Amino acid sequence: MTALDLSSPVAVVGTGTMGQGIAQVALVAGHPVRLYDAVPGRAGQAAAAIGARLDRLVEKDRLTAADRDAARARLRPADDLAELADCALVVEAVLERLDVKQDLFKAVEGVVADDCLLATNTSSLSVTAIGGALRNPGRLVGLHFFNPAPLLPLVEVVSGFATDVTSATRAYETARAWGKTPVACADTPGFIVNRIARPFYAEAFAVLESQAADPATIDAVLRESGGFRMGAFELTDLIGQDVNESVTHSVWQSFFQDVRFTPSLAQRRLVESGRLGRKSGHGWYDYGDGAERPEPHTAEKERPPAYVVVEGDLGPAAELTALIREAGITVREEEEDHGTRLVLPGGGQLVLADGQTSGEFRDVVYFDLALDYRRATRVALSASQDTAPRTLAEAIGLFQALGKDVSVIGDVPGMIVARTVARVVDLAHDAVAKGAATEEDVDTAMRLGVNYPLGPFEWSRRLGRSWAYDLLDDLHLRDPSGRYAPSLALYRHAYAGEKREGAS
Ligand SMILES: NC(=O)c1ccc[n+]([C@@H]2O[C@H](COP(=O)([O-])OP(=O)(O)OC[C@H]3O[C@@H](n4cnc5c(N)ncnc54)[C@H](O)[C@@H]3O)[C@@H](O)[C@H]2O)c1
């Protein structure tokens, strides 16, 4: 099965933000493109807007003037659906409402030929439900582009329950021929990206709700320690709090209110207050004239400890041993059977975030996970009220000596980056085990769709087989709501083959 022939006309129905972007992609790839919108005149406006964008591509030397002229000649607004009769593919990007999409496809089905491929750009509805209204649901596929479609490479190609393999393959190959990076996925809520990315937002909001840190600090830790391009608060301000919340809500509802996807009360109140993010001038942050972005909490300078004792294998934080030595601090390494930790001169311990809290131990400071401790410019620490001041000061001084800013946050289990990554890894394993997509496609989707520095499976391999499971298992003990309950898939991944024969 091959991609659509470039001479085949492609129709885009619904010519708003996404429709225009998708039409531009098909047009620049070489297809004749028809535009249709329910609002009279809007398809014509969309054609003009696409033409103007092609002009800008010519100005930037990304398109020749001749190619632009040829593309413009291939673009045609339609006044009536009947004008789409000879199209080989109809991509729908109308209002995100099931009845509207079903009615539209029923009407399209009455106009186009039997072999015309139908595609929906829905981001949260079930492709299966949309297809349920069709005479031939086998030819309907999800083609989920990301905004802005001409720039972002990822396209999720979604197979509904009734989608024919040939339709999905043709859509996949066509997206690839258009210069996109398609990933194949099943019709599950949120598809790949919008499902697996939920904890990135949810855990940041949960840390805020637990009063452990403010948005600026959480964002700085996610960026400067976690390696994420943006923090969850600034990113949702960019996306729009209403849009982000409605995706969360839809995924949660579609999974029958699975507690792992529960929306955030803090975000609900923000939306209710009308603070929708950049577009309304105020979200988690204020974007008004003269408003200043709050600074993350950063600890005052402390003296570095003279030495540290590294007990056991630091696992994902192993690089720290070399970094501490390079900073001129003496490191003594000792074998240890009971966990891994750094022991400070005052006797206090520094432990990589797991699912426990500092307050459960005598004199323990936790430090958060970093994507790469050498490159990280900030590290978060958490201590309890009972932690000896000297231990916290030595921990702060140690990371400062490595050139890191230090943010001290409240005593939350799993801290910020560690709990976020563990939950993303868990949802990724769960999604693959349930047939939503392959590991490779999940990694591609999360890197290209939401710019994660690593795909969840690659991250999981780096962290070690049982790291995410153990963290979530501990978190689940402390919050037995089910939100942190690790999936069976993650358990299998972590402990496959570890039980003795015959043991129960
Ligand atoms: N905006 C995004 O970031 C984004 C990303 C991925 C997917 N999507 C999905 O793409 C679709 C469109 O989103 P958008 O942001 O472009 O919306 P939009 O509001 O910018 O555009 C929707 C267009 O559809 C037209 N329309 C509505 N009902 C119609 C009908 N029955 N027939 C023909 N035209 C009709 C409207 O007049 C409007 O021009 C939605 O399903 C949305 O979930 C959006």
User: Which of ligand 1's atoms lies nearest the C-alpha of 104?
Assistant: 31
Q: Work out the mean pLDDT of the chain and round it to a whole number.
A: 96
Q: What is the pTM of this model?
A: 0.95
**Is pLDDT above 70 for 501?**
no
Please tell me whether residue 418 adopts helix, strand or coil conformation: helix
Structure tokens at 32: 């004749």
Residue 117 confidence (pLDDT): 98
Going by pLDDT thresholds of 50, 70 and 90, the confidence category of residue 1 is low
pLDDT at 397 over 60: yes
Out of 12, 90, 94, mutate this one to test ligand 1's pocket (max ligand atoms within 8 Å of CB): namely 94
Which of the pair, 22 or 313, is modelled with greater confidence?
22
Distance 423 CA to ligand 1 centre (A): 31
* Residues 33-60, mean pLDDT to the nearest whole number: 97
Q: How confident is the model at residue 340 (pLDDT cuts 50, 70, 90)?
A: confident
For residues 431 and 192, the answer to whether their CB atoms sit within 8 Å is yes
User: Distance from the CA of 178 to the center of ligand 1, in angstroms?
Assistant: 21
Instruction: Name the residue with higher pLDDT: 458 or 498.
Output: 458
What confidence score (pLDDT) does residue 337 get?
63
Per-residue pLDDT, 128: 98
Pairing of strands 330-334, 341-343: unpaired
> Which residues are designated catalytic?
123, 144, 156, 194
Q: Does pLDDT of 349 surpass 90?
A: yes
In this prediction, residues 139-159 reach a mean pLDDT of 97
3-class secondary structure, 245: helix
Residue 335: its pLDDT value, please?
79
**pLDDT tens, residue by residue, 238-291:** 999 999 999 999 999 999 999 999 999 999 999 999 999 999 999 999 999 999
CA of 93 to the centre of ligand 1 (A): 4
Mean pLDDT of 388-394: 96
pLDDT of residue 19: 98
Whether the predicted pLDDT of 432 surpasses 90: yes
Tell me the per-residue pLDDT of 207-231, one tens digit each, with 9 for 90 and over: 999 999 999 999 999 999 999 999 9
448 CA distance to ligand 1 middle (Å) = 22
Q: What local confidence, expressed as pLDDT, does residue 496 receive?
A: 82
Closest residue to atom 18 of ligand 1, CA basis: 16
**Whole-number pLDDT of residue 87:** 98
Is the pLDDT at 444 greater than 60, yes or no?
yes
Domain with CATH 3.40.50.720 in the chain: 10-187
- Tell whether the model's pLDDT for residue 498 goes beyond 70: yes
Least confident span in 76-90, 215-229, 337-351, 382-396: 337-351
Nearest CA to ligand 1 atom 7: 123
pLDDT at 338 over 80: no
Task: Examine residue 148 and say whether the peptide bond preceding it is cis (omega within 30 degrees of 0).
Answer: yes
316 strand-pairing partners: none
Average pLDDT over residues 122-131: 96
In this prediction, residue 500 has a pLDDT band, given cuts at 50, 70 and 90, of: low
Place of tokens 């595609």: 119
* Rounded mean pLDDT, 371-394: 96
Q: Output the CA 37–ligand 1 centroid distance in Å.
A: 10
Confidence (pLDDT) at 178: 98
CATH number of 194-280: 1.10.1040.50
Q: Which fold has domain 420-494?
A: N-(1-d-carboxylethyl)-l-norvaline Dehydrogenase; domain 2 (1.10.1040)
Buried b (16+ CB within 10 A) or exposed e, 379-407: bbbbbbeebbeebbbbbbbbbbbbebbbb
Report yes or no: 18 and 149 within 8 Å, Cβ to Cβ.
yes
> Is pLDDT of 503 > 70?
no
CATH 3.30.750.190-classified regions of the chain: 307-409
Beta bridge partners of 141: 119
Q: DSSP 3-state helix, strand, coil percentages of the chain (rounded to 5)?
A: 45, 15, 40
Pocket test for ligand 1, best of 34, 84, 95 (most atoms within 8 A of CB): 95
Residues within a 6 A CB radius of ligand 1: 13-19, 37-39, 42, 93-96, 100, 104, 121-123, 145, 147
Q: What is the dihedral of CA 47, 73, 101, 256, to 10 degrees?
A: -80
Q: What is the DSSP string of 176-192?
A: HHTT-EEEEEES-TTTT
Please check whether the domain covering 10-187 is classified as CATH 3.40.50.720: yes
The pLDDT of residue 469: 97
Backbone angles phi, psi at 483, to 5 degrees: -55, -35
Span(s) in the chain for CATH 1.10.1040.50:
194-280, 420-494
Q: Does residue 232 carry a pLDDT above 70?
A: yes
- What is the model's pLDDT at position 411? 96
In angstroms, what is the span from residue 39 Cα to ligand 1's centroid?
A: 12
* pLDDT in the model for residue 502: 58
CATH architecture of 307-409: 2-Layer Sandwich (3.30)
Label residue 497 by pLDDT band (50, 70, 90). Answer: confident
